Amino acid sequence: MSYTETQIQSVVSAQRIFFNSGATLDINWRIQQLKKLKAAVLAHESEFEDALHEDLGRSKVEAYLCDIGPVIVEINETMAGLKKWARPELHFSGLLCFPSIFTRVYKMPYGVSLIISPFNFPILLTLGVLAASIAGGNTAVIKASAKSKACTAVLKKIISEVFEPEYVTLIDGGHDVADICLGQRFDKIFYTGSPAVGKHVLAEAAKNLTPVALELGGETGNWCVVRKDADLKDAARKIAFFKLCNAGQICININQIAVAEEVVEDFLKELKAEFTRQIGENPLANPDYPKLITEAAYDKCANEAEQYRERIVFGGNGHRESRRYAPTIIYPVAIDEPIVQHELFCPLLPIVPYKDSDIENVMNVIAQREHPLAMYLFTKNRRWARRTMRTQQFGGGCINEVCIHLMVKGVPFNGTGHSGMGAYHGEWGFREFTHPQTVLMGKTCCNLSLREHPYSGNSEKQKLNFLRWFER
């Protein structure tokens, strides 16, 4: 279906009327909507699996591991914590406000939200964000990706079955439809995608001063650092798993690896062995190996690989008809080459050798680039690793592990700068979709004249002494 501006305006208007009715303010009502959403995910699990396979070539295990299962976990955590998160906070107002000594902070929904979701995790990054919007008491217009057509079709069917359109509506279509959506006055926008489009979303949102959360991949990609004291076999096993997942089309995936040259040959041997062990000698013939989302994405990957053809030490072949490109190791690559200065979002894996004694210079170069969404360090030197993680700027990461910081309950997820703004997951998602509203509980008796005129004459010294005493 092709949406017109009039149709989208009508959807937004209907949702605003519904929100203004106050129906979404009741916490028990929100929990009921989350229960309906969870039940729909469970009931349509096989349809999601089929759609993920059609769009991205995902196996059932990977579909559940990366999209379906995390949505259920997210909804469960939200339902369990929502009453506590939404409870108004009671604060002591301070002596300066006497006799009005109590202040409450209410967690108020923004109103009508717009969720723009991507193709790479079309279930998780649509329904996971929707769960946060519902928890916050908002209505939602979802603009799903036109690239993951099968998943968008299933999502649209399920959303229309579960929710009334004045509460939640899913809109499909391309960039033109997204621009029509961005032209409307929303109360909150949540966008997941590239930094380039993120800038456009911010610019459009600024016209209505709409608050925005962005989950972006990072302009210059996520770094993994393997030091000479790392457990190379363990590092290779985890890195290979992660790079194979979704064929590298993951916002927190490893974009490039800096490997200490003292161990780089041994590491490459282990990494090649792990790729082969996990996906086989011919990954293009393995039905469990995912595919790139479009032919254009395949061509971009293949063309970049050709530019480094003489340095490909593993992989380097693909099949355009199936859109599968083998995991490909490119070595050696200098830290200032073009391939390590932009997000790849594909199975290419450049290896940057460095002297382990120069590790601080490597980290300084990384720090000078745009902030990544993730960082991964492999080393036995925990003190160095913890210090590095405390001083670098990035969204989140792991020491001697990959990606699973994303799965930890109760912690925020997102980046900073070119890798995003805002945060979500669990309570952090609830916070992202609510505005803290401060209300002081005033008294009508025993009010002090301290704040009132006159400020000079006999009152000046007395009032200043009281103010300075109160504010110590």
Active-site residue list: 215, 251
Strands (E), 110-233: 112-116, 139-143, 168-171, 188-193, 212-216, 222-226
d(CA 230, CA 239): 13
Which sign, positive or negative, has the C-alpha torsion 316, 121, 72, 161?
negative
Asked if 223 and 256 count as a contact pair (C-beta separation under 8 A), the reply is yes
**Helix, strand, coil % in the chain, rounded to nearest 5:** 50, 20, 35
Q: How far is CA 390 from the centre of its chain?
A: 21
d(CA 236, CA 266): 10
d(CA 170, CA 153): 10
Which sign, positive or negative, has the C-alpha torsion 289, 290, 295, 298?
negative
Structure tokens at 381: 């030197």
Sheet of 112-116: strands edge to edge? 168-171, 139-143, 112-116, 188-193, 212-216, 420-421
Q: How far is CA 313 from the centre of its chain?
A: 32
Structure tokens at 370: 């745009």
Measure the N-to-C terminal CA separation of the chain; round to a whole number of Å. 64
Q: Which residue type is seen at 417?
A: G
Helices (H), 107-148: 124-136
Structure tokens at 334: 């200098």
Total residue count of the chain as it appears in this document: 472
Q: Which residue type is seen at 420?
A: G
Strands (E), 53-120: 89-92, 102-109, 112-116
